[in-house]
Amino acid sequence: MKRTRPFDAWKMIAVLGAAMMFLCLPAVLAVAGVDNVRDTPRSRAAVEAHTPELSEALAEKGLRLGAPVYLRLTKEPAVLTAYVANEEGVYEPFRSWPVCSVSGKLGPKLAEGDLQAPEGFYSVAPGQMNPASSYHLAFNIGYPNAFDRDHERTGSYLMVHGSCVSVGCYAMTDKGIEEIWTLMQAAMDHGQSAVPVHIFPFPMTAANLQRHADDENAPFWRSLAPAWEAFDTTAHVPDVRVIDGEYEVQPVA
């Protein structure tokens, strides 16, 4: 009887390994250090479809496609709002989209597999944009950030994406993510190095904070409130840093 050579076994392992790398390639590329937003036929079609309407809608508000973008998201209500900078650098609300699906409950993500969607301050650079996502289009918010790491929170590939299904991410409708993608790509193509994405459990009003004062997450939520207040007061995206394991909003220069 002919014996199987060791080479054949190793060749099979190599083939399986290559297949796994191919399947994981979109996720790997999504965090690769690249300067420009990569595109696919899917993302190009989305940009071509939405550019005329977005350009017109922005112009009606004295804004332009390609200006810097800021995204602010709340879990309750589940809404993502895009703000766009005007010619003076003041951010104005442009459009809001309902979050189609978000898993977990109010409160930050603590550990890989807890099915919680993150809360906190993140930013999205071109290399975090994934035009080949299994969930239509997606961008990696950059969890865990410095605060998360200081507090030993774990997790990976936390996204805002399409397809309206969530397992720890923020899922939009496909139309919604296409519009958001088009705004972000245009801003990056015109020089915005990263789009800030600030995620809150709810609008950080005094009434809401009081309503949740007995929650175990109340101290964490109070640490998020100054950034919400700073933006509402100045219409400029606050510079939030992590100092000694805590979020701190820096004074406006």
Residue 103 in any domain: the answer is yes
What is the domain extent for residue 147?
A: 23-197
pLDDT at 8: 45
Query: CB under 8 Å to 128, separation ≥6 — which residues?
Result: 30, 31, 139, 140, 141, 142
pLDDT tens digit sequence for 102-145: 989 999 999 999 999 999 999 999 999 999 999 999 999 999 99
Q: What is the pLDDT of residue 141?
A: 98
pLDDT above 70 (res 7): no
Of 225 and 251, the structure prediction assigns the larger pLDDT to 225
pLDDT of residue 240 exceeding 50? yes
The one-character DSSP state at 158 is -
Phi-psi bin for 85: left (phi > 0), alpha (psi -120 to 50), beta? beta
Reading the block at residue 122, the tokens are 């993140």
- At residue 103, the pLDDT reads 87
Q: Which residue, 58, 224, 40, 65, is CA-closest to 138?
A: 40
Q: Which residues are catalytic?
A: 161, 169
Contact 102, 170 (CB under 8 A): yes
First to last CA, the chain: 80
Number of compact structural domains in the chain: 1
Is it the case that residue 1 has pLDDT exceeding 50? no
Q: Is residue 70 part of a domain?
A: yes
State the chain's mean pLDDT as an integer.
89
pLDDT at 179 (0 to 100): 98
Q: Which two tokens stand for residue 173?
A: 């409708």
Supply the pTM of this predicted model: 0.87
Cβ atoms 201, 74 nearer than 8 A: yes
Q: Does 209 map to a domain?
A: no
Measured CA distances, 160 to 29, 51, 56, 183 (Å): 16, 20, 25, 14
Residues 6 or more apart whose Cβ sits within 8 Å of residue 203: 74, 228
pLDDT score for 2: 39
Distance CA 173, CA 134 (A): 14
18-68: pLDDT as tens digits? 333 333 344 444 444 568 999 999 999 999 999 999 999 999 999 999 999
Q: What is the pLDDT of residue 166?
A: 86
> Quick one: what percent of the chain has pLDDT higher than 90?
83
Confidence category of residue 3, pLDDT binned at 50, 70, 90: very low
Residue 231 predicted with pLDDT over 80: yes
C-alpha gyration radius of the chain: 20
> pLDDT-based confidence at 253, cuts 50/70/90?
low
Among 6-20, 138-152, 232-246, whose mean pLDDT is lowest? 6-20
